[in-house]
Chains A and B, each alone.
Chain A
């Protein structure tokens, strides 16, 4: 989780990712950011996030994203 927060903070250092729950809804992350995150996640956690998982519910908060990574790792 902390590593994930670190990835996110590298992208936007002015956002508190531990509390923010509207990353997509409030337009903090755009599509370019999302691809950067997916690339980083794949690199660090060895988890491939497929395109169909890219939806606001999975990216709106760091917590949701972490849950997604865990779920994909399980499968």
Chain B
């Protein structure tokens, strides 16, 4: 069941209805039941995996919390008998033990993720290396990949670390915790909510309120609009370009950067709009995952605005611990002493940044494409950090120019194309093909004529009316996103019933007519095949 399918619409509608019909104390049970059904519908074999994650993190978190409490109690009762150093030593010993429990939980859960997601990739690398020496290769097993495993593993391990750090209280109700991990609107593609942000909301009774229902529904429709009218409509053209890169070089790669940016924006932010909107209809507030990402002026800013919950997960649970752990600090001291202050200062930050981005790439997918994509992002962020003094001098030199709207727009466009260019690693077959395609933009000018004589439309299979439709839709998204800077448009409209109705109706009708869903009418299908 994808979020834009008809069965999902029906499923969501029934869930919302039941949710407000049952006694308030049972609301979370409705959601848990719906989540289990949703998950089971995706594949019955997926259930044991998510169950293992739920059970291990739930109980390990409880053990960690209980031990921490016992240690604290011990110190309080024996305060008189212990001096400061003894207390510190006792605390450290306790923490070490808890750290072992945490480590066990992390190894188990990341282990499951690693085995299921990366075995094939690892074996193919091993085979490549073996191939240099022998003819024999290892068989690559086909393993199942449970729905949303990358997302729920992050949610659950994040929770476990938060409990260990004393930032979150361990869950006491296994059912509610299972709901936090498997909450069906968010299980497939996030946002990666933090336990503290979401769990309490399952305890609160929720009344059916107009504000939530209307703003939520409008947001769901908006998500459908972005995904079905923009993303899915352009997807075919993207597939055509990357499918035969030898036919579509030069201008088409530039076009791909723009088209794929629109596709991924519509698809991902639209999907999250549906998730957050549906949750809102249930009276639940999920963490926002996007904040007008294409208005970013730099790569670093972009990553604070795009896929925010994933970025912050990596920052909190990978980047910080890695960059300030004791061995890194030792390394810093050593490099400072031997390589000078400038290098020494940069060392931990740079190393941690690259490792974090390597892992971010790996998390996105088990292939070299994603690894290169991740590391490139890290490298770009570090380069622009090094260039910062240069930019600063430029700003001081030309204050009027650099504070103008034009310059701001230029920075946004520059970031858009930079990120878009890196992002095409997502779609091409492999890394060399991607780089070749990228390079062709600078030497292959043979396709620019296709724009002038209009043959670009035939070649990409998108007719003029569809280009116009997508263009108008993009403009609408642009203006709505601009005007929603302070208060989301959906919230403002829910206070104005007539406007709200017009907006909801307009979106619904637009999606119904212009959305790419169902079996498309392909005239080719109907060309008389004699039989």
User: Does B315 have its Cβ within 8 Å of any Cβ on chain A?
Assistant: yes
A49 contacts which chain B residues (CB < 8 A)? Answer: 324
A18 to B165, CA, bound (A): 30
Known A-B contacts A31-B319, A51-B316, A52-B166; the reply to A36 vs B324 at CB < 8 A is: no
B348 contacts which chain A residues (CB < 8 A)? Answer: 35, 39
Distance in Å: Cβ of A9 to nearest Cβ of chain B: 15
Residues B349 and A35 in contact, CB atoms below 8 Å apart? yes
User: Does A30 have its Cβ within 8 Å of any Cβ on chain B?
Assistant: yes
- Interface of chain A, main secondary structure: helix
- A interface, size bucket: 10 to 19
A51 contacts which chain B residues (CB < 8 A)? Answer: 165, 316, 320-321, 324
> How many A-B contacts if CB must be within 8 Å?
48
Known A-B contacts A39-B345, A52-B166, A54-B316; the reply to A32 vs B385 at CB < 8 A is: yes
A38 to B345, CA, bound (A): 11
Known A-B contacts A51-B165, A52-B165, A52-B167; the reply to A35 vs B300 at CB < 8 A is: no
Partner of A39, one of B166, B315, B329, B385: B329
User: Does B182 have its Cβ within 8 Å of any Cβ on chain A?
Assistant: no
A75 to B92, CA, bound (A): 11
User: Does B367 have its Cβ within 8 Å of any Cβ on chain A?
Assistant: no
Distance in Å: Cβ of A28 to nearest Cβ of chain B: 13
A1 to B324, CA, bound (A): 22
Known A-B contacts A35-B349, A51-B165; the reply to A30 vs B323 at CB < 8 A is: no
A38 contacts which chain B residues (CB < 8 A)? Answer: 323-324
A32 to B323, CA, bound (A): 9
Most buried by B among A42, A49, A51, A54: A51
B349 contacts which chain A residues (CB < 8 A)? Answer: 32, 35-36, 39
A75 contacts which chain B residues (CB < 8 A)? Answer: 88
User: Does A3 have its Cβ within 8 Å of any Cβ on chain B?
Assistant: no
A34 contacts which chain B residues (CB < 8 A)? Answer: 320
Distance in Å: Cβ of A45 to nearest Cβ of chain B: 13
The contact string, 1 if C-beta is below 8 Å from chain B, for chain A 14-46, is 000000000000010011101110111011000
A40 to B341, CA, bound (A): 11
B88 contacts which chain A residues (CB < 8 A)? Answer: 75
Residues A31 and B320 in contact, CB atoms below 8 Å apart? yes
Residues B329 and A42 in contact, CB atoms below 8 Å apart? yes
B320 contacts which chain A residues (CB < 8 A)? Answer: 31, 34-35, 51, 54
User: Does B332 have its Cβ within 8 Å of any Cβ on chain A?
Assistant: yes
Most buried by B among A34, A36, A39, A48: A39
A54 contacts which chain B residues (CB < 8 A)? Answer: 316, 320
Residues A39 and B324 in contact, CB atoms below 8 Å apart? yes
Distance in Å: Cβ of B334 to nearest Cβ of chain A: 12
Residues A35 and B324 in contact, CB atoms below 8 Å apart? yes
B316 contacts which chain A residues (CB < 8 A)? Answer: 51, 54
Residues B332 and A39 in contact, CB atoms below 8 Å apart? yes
In the complex, which residue of chain A has the Cβ closest to the Cβ of B346?
A36
In the complex, which residue of chain B has the Cβ closest to the Cβ of A38?
B324
B165 contacts which chain A residues (CB < 8 A)? Answer: 50-52
Residues A36 and B345 in contact, CB atoms below 8 Å apart? yes
The contact string, 1 if C-beta is below 8 Å from chain A, for chain B 370-410, is 00000000000000010000000000000000000000000
Residues A35 and B329 in contact, CB atoms below 8 Å apart? no
Distance in Å: Cβ of B492 to nearest Cβ of chain A: 24
In chain B between 290 and 339, which residues have their CB closer than 8 angstroms to a CB of chain A? 300, 304, 315-316, 319-321, 323-324, 326, 329, 332-333
Q: List 30 A-B contacts (CB under 8 A).
A: A31-B319, A32-B349, A32-B353, A32-B385, A35-B319, A35-B324, A35-B348, A38-B323, A39-B323, A39-B329, A39-B332, A39-B345, A39-B348, A39-B349, A42-B324, A43-B333, A48-B326, A48-B329, A50-B165, A50-B324, A51-B316, A51-B320, A51-B321, A51-B324, A52-B165, A52-B166, A52-B167, A54-B316, A54-B320, A75-B88
Interface residues of B (CB under 8 A from A): 88, 165-167, 300, 304, 315-316, 319-321, 323-324, 326, 329, 332-333, 345, 348-349, 352-353, 385
The 5 tightest CB contacts between A and B, nearest first, are A52-B165, A35-B323, A51-B320, A51-B321, A35-B349
**Apart from A32-B349, A50-B165, A51-B165, what 12 extra A-B contacts exist at CB < 8 Å?**
A27-B304, A31-B320, A34-B320, A35-B319, A35-B349, A38-B323, A39-B348, A39-B349, A49-B324, A51-B316, A51-B324, A52-B167
